[in-house]
Chains A and B, each alone.
Chain A
Amino acid sequence: MKVIACYKVVPYEQSIGVNADRSLNLDKAELVIGQYDLNAVEAGAQLVEKHGGELTALTVGCTEVENSKLRKSVLSRGPANCVTVNDASLAQADSTRTSAALAEAVRSIGQFDLVLCGEGSSDLYAQQVGVQLGERLGVPAVNGVISIEAGDGFVTVQRAVDGEVETLNVQLPAVLAVSSSINRTRVPSMKEILAAGKKPVQAMTGADLHLPAGSATSTVSTLAPQQTVRSCRIFNGDSAEILAEFAAAVNAELK
């Protein structure tokens, strides 16, 4: 089975700085692999471990895709190789732009059975890219996938949708957006991390692909939310007196 798992390099939310005017400072933010994308990589790794074949990791974005630590990190989780597309026009790309770039990259990789995406990126979390990518590639695509069983020319998937679990046979090739409940992601061993450094990486730029111009949405502003001011009355300790004081303070507010 030829499987491609897509991932996005994103700033770790907790490390994003906020300027005095509530605008964001991303300069010092630590980069990580989107947490939901790790479920897609894991699902792909499990499929090729069980059925044979090859898993390719794919990411599109700006210079952040070239981060060697994260490339190594993704390659230590099962993929045999990694494809990155770095193009300045993909900075802050919305879902339709990201899916267009991924579609071009998948076409350049060539034949595949399954493309896996996480349910959404950790930064924008639009939960759109997987199904959009399938539509662009002209193959079946569904989201909310919580299990995948390989069949002959199709996969049987369970899909959690709005209070129901439906079982579908999906013809291959296909694109699936997996839910975070599909698996627990692995913790790579030192051996896997060392081996990851030797796996092939194909680094492409937008010039290697046909990326469309323009965007279907634009960003007017991105600001940190205004904080609600809270009174922060803090009690410290677990003695009977402290607990009684704390409980009394809470009970007084609840009356």
Chain B
Amino acid sequence: MKLKKAFVFSADLSALAGLCSGANLLAESSAALVLGSKAQAEELLPKADKVIWLGEKDKSAIVESYTGAIQQAIQKDEPQLLLMSGSTRDRCIAAKLAIRLNAGVITDAAGLTVTEEGKIQVRRNVYGGAAEAVLEGESALTIVLVPGGLFEDLPAAQPGVLEEAVAAPEDMGVTLVSVAAKQEEAVNIVAAKRVIGVGRGLGSQENLAAVEALGAKLGAEIGCTRPIAEEEHWLARNRYIGVSGVSIRPNLYMALGVSGQIQHMVGVSDAKLIVAINKDAKAPIFQNCDIGLVADMNKVLPQLTELF
């Protein structure tokens, strides 16, 4: 069964086309809310039955200040579903909308369907990846946050119409002082064909040099487990693989000093080949790899780098 209406919004304009595909798949009519230039709104016309242009964002305001404008558009058209991206801003806006509109909100959807009874059903990881839950929306509107690439490209049945609803930002008790680009190197371990993941077995940050040498030899990006990024801060957070980090599907995942806890392994479960090196023969990763080596990674890395 299909829903009557689905809306999409994202603070990240590049996410909108993908979200529209989901709305077209799940609902009889789709509408995209666009906060940006009129040209950016018009660009989406082939993707949605209706594009509601909220105007350009005021430079002194943050996107979250337009929650009221999104709320009004939803109250006017009463869609059953609002699709958003999983970005930090979208999470913030979704939380505000959920309270204002008495809506259910389900984040990090791994799958999204409409049941025969017309209910919105979502699959998502819980307990750090130890389980997958199936949830259903129970309110008139359900807000679902999905990662990029969840839906295959599906344009609207016919080109959409543009509706203007130019809005002003609301006072959310917040003043924007400044914006800076994040001081973080750009890495894309999601797209990498080969990834090396380091865990606590690394021992110290100095040992990273040998891992980088191996990475260069194999043509692999370096990723890590949660403690390496969030507790030791030896690698940036955007290299962290796992349930609250990124999920990857490379041809090769080489886990060095990684014990194989479920929260991490859920992020690599789609890897074609998993290779593990760990000095603890009892580490759970040896039950969940294709090829394993029981040895101290720091001792064997220089020699192994020569052998690949």
Contacts and interface: CB of A to CB of B under 8 A. Distances in A.
A136 B99 CA distance: 7
Interface string A47-61: 000000000000000
Interface string B124-140: 01111111111111110
A170 B174 contact: yes
Range of interface residues on A (Cβ < 8 Å): 35 or more
Interface string A226-255: 011011111111101011101111110110
Contacts of A249: 291
Contacts of B261: 13-14
B178 A166 contact: yes
A164 B177 CA distance: 13
A24 interface: yes
A11 B262 CA distance: 14
A165 B182 contact: yes
A71 to B, nearest CB: 22
Interface stretch (A77-85, A106-114, A203-211, A217-225): A217-225
A253 to B, nearest CB: 5
Contacts of B64: 142
Nearest to A164: B179
B107 A13 contact: no
Contacts of B182: 160, 163-165
Interface stretch (B39-47, B205-213, B294-302): B294-302
A147 interface: no
Range of interface residues on B (Cβ < 8 Å): 35 or more
B95 A218 contact: no
A237 B178 CA distance: 54
A231 B290 contact: yes
Contacts of A96: 98-99, 104-105
Given A168-B174, A169-B174, A123 B126 contact: yes
Contact of B180 (A165, A184, A214): A165
B265 to A, nearest CB: 9
Contacts, number: 253
Given A135-B100, A220-B135, A223-B131, A238 B295 contact: yes
Interface in B265-308: 266, 269, 273-275, 281, 286-296, 299-300, 303-304, 307-308
B16 interface: no
B294 A237 contact: yes
Interface of B is mostly: mixed
B176 A161 contact: no
A162 B135 contact: no
Contacts of B304: 243, 246-247
B99 A222 contact: no
B175 interface: yes
A236 B102 CA distance: 57
A225 B125 CA distance: 9
Interface string B240-259: 00011000000110000000
Contacts of A247: 304, 307-308
Most buried by B among A216, A248, A254: A216
B24 interface: no
A142 B126 CA distance: 24
A140 B172 contact: yes
Contacts of A123: 126-128
Contacts of B11: 162
A249 B290 CA distance: 10
A123 B133 CA distance: 11
A104 to B, nearest CB: 14
B242 to A, nearest CB: 11
Nearest to A22: B131
B88 interface: yes
A221 B88 CA distance: 27
B173 A225 contact: no
A229 to B, nearest CB: 10
A145 to B, nearest CB: 10
A222 B126 contact: yes
Contacts of B135: 94, 217-220
23 contacts: A16-B127, A96-B98, A123-B126, A125-B107, A131-B91, A131-B92, A131-B96, A140-B173, A140-B174, A144-B88, A162-B12, A162-B87, A162-B89, A165-B179, A166-B180, A170-B173, A171-B174, A218-B135, A218-B136, A219-B133, A221-B133, A225-B131, A233-B292
Interchain residue pairs A-B with the least CB separation, the first 10: A140-B173, A216-B104, A131-B95, A247-B307, A13-B128, A135-B99, A217-B104, A220-B134, A167-B177, A238-B295
Given A24-B130, A163-B181, A253-B252, 19 more contacts: A13-B128, A13-B129, A16-B127, A95-B98, A96-B99, A131-B92, A132-B95, A135-B96, A140-B172, A141-B95, A160-B88, A165-B179, A165-B183, A180-B230, A217-B104, A217-B105, A234-B294, A243-B293, A250-B308
